[in-house]
Amino acid sequence: MPDSEWTTATDQRFNVNLSILFTELPLPERPAAAAAAGFTAVELWWPWVDSPTPDQSELDALKQAIEDAGVRLTGLNFYAGQLPGPDRGALSIPGEESERFRANVDVVADFAQSLGCGALNALYGNRVEGVDPAEQDALALENLALAARAADRIGANLLIETLNKPESPRYPLVSAPAGIGIVDKVNEATGLGNARFLMDLYHLSMNGEDLPSVIERYAAKTGHVQIADNPGRGAPGTGTLPLEDLLDQLRKTGYEGWVGLEYKPGDRPSTEAFEWLPREARAAR
């Protein structure tokens, strides 16, 4: 459990990832639970892991739950397969999975637009045995360009996320330079400039990267930040990462975007996993 509350938290804009926190509740109840905990913004992985194109009634029900709770949706993943689970995205996987991703692109963009969401996250996908990595990379660039154009249509950014090698050994983007390289390739391919880096400090720390250096080098290309402590992927203060200092460094670089809380609550209700964050800092200004 964290030793004390953060002192610089009021300088940040935090949102809660409802796909990893409040999961003890049915999805339609999570936005209200986040609001009751004092948050005004939420983000989500794609909620329908088996369906890139759910019934409109399911989309409408989730939209209504978010609106009724009075929270803002600030980030949404494209279809990424079983997440949490063995999958790490679909867009680079030839065949049915990439087709499912393409079918999902406009569904995600339209849903995000209906709620004023400005960031869409596309997970790259695992390497497939027996498939040339160059073939997967070419397919990925084609699908990421498609996603970037859909995001641009609604005035949103496309986020490119790196994961970590210990937990995702077949995922090819396991360093900040690798993620930035894809960001640059997508922007070059589309000319839109709306592809941005998703800086997940937990994943980067699991890869052993120098986090202050990553922030110094790549903050200007960063469109979103996510945090969890390491080891354990728990709340800030449960591990050893100096997350308060790192976010303070980000703020001083000029980063003014969202910081997503993407950690596990542990063996307790999610409402008890926010002791580190003063309640007055949970409502984004």
Is 5 contained in some domain? Answer: no
Q: Is the pLDDT of residue 2 over 60?
A: no
- CB distance 104 to 78 below 8 Å: yes
Q: Is the pLDDT of residue 1 over 70?
A: no
Is 216 contained in some domain? Answer: yes
What CATH number is given to the structural domain containing 215?
Answer: 3.20.20.150
Q: How confident is the model at residue 19 (pLDDT cuts 50, 70, 90)?
A: very high
Q: To 10 degrees, what angle do helices 176-190 and 211-218 make?
A: 20
**pLDDT, position 8:** 80
Residue range 4-14: average pLDDT?
84
pTM tops 0.85, yes or no? yes
What percent of the chain has a predicted confidence (pLDDT) above 70? 99
Is 232 contained in some domain? Answer: yes
**Considering 262, 272, 275, 280, which one is annotated as catalytic?**
262
Q: To 10 degrees, what angle do helices 133-153 and 96-114 make?
A: 20
Copy the structure tokens of residue 47. Answer: 């909620």
What is the C-alpha separation between 240 and 6, in angstroms, rounded?
15
- CB distance 36 to 21 below 8 Å: no
Is 2 contained in some domain? Answer: no
Is 161 contained in some domain? Answer: yes
Number of domains comprising the chain: 1
User: What's the domain range around 32?
Assistant: 13-272
Is 184 contained in some domain? Answer: yes
Note the pLDDT tens digit of each residue in 173-203. Answer: 999 999 999 999 999 999 999 999 999 999 9
Note the pLDDT tens digit of each residue in 93-146. Answer: 999 999 999 999 999 999 999 999 999 999 999 999 999 999 999 999 999 999
Q: Residue 100's Cα: distance from chain center in Å?
A: 20
**Considering 43, 97, 161, 244, which one is annotated as catalytic?**
161
Is 3 contained in some domain? Answer: no
Q: Residue 171's Cα: distance from chain center in Å?
A: 16
Q: Respond yes or no: is residue 161 known to be catalytic.
A: yes
- CB distance 54 to 103 below 8 Å: no
Q: Respond yes or no: is residue 24 known to be catalytic.
A: no
Q: Using a CB cutoff of 8 Å and minimum separation of 24, what contacts does 28-33 make?
A: 28/61, 28/62, 28/65, 29/65, 30/65, 31/65, 31/66, 31/68, 31/69, 31/71, 32/65, 32/68, 32/69, 33/270, 33/271
Is 278 contained in some domain? Answer: no
Note the pLDDT tens digit of each residue in 33-75. Answer: 999 999 999 999 999 999 999 999 999 999 999 999 999 999 9
Note the pLDDT tens digit of each residue in 214-258. Answer: 999 999 999 999 999 999 999 999 999 999 999 999 999 999 999
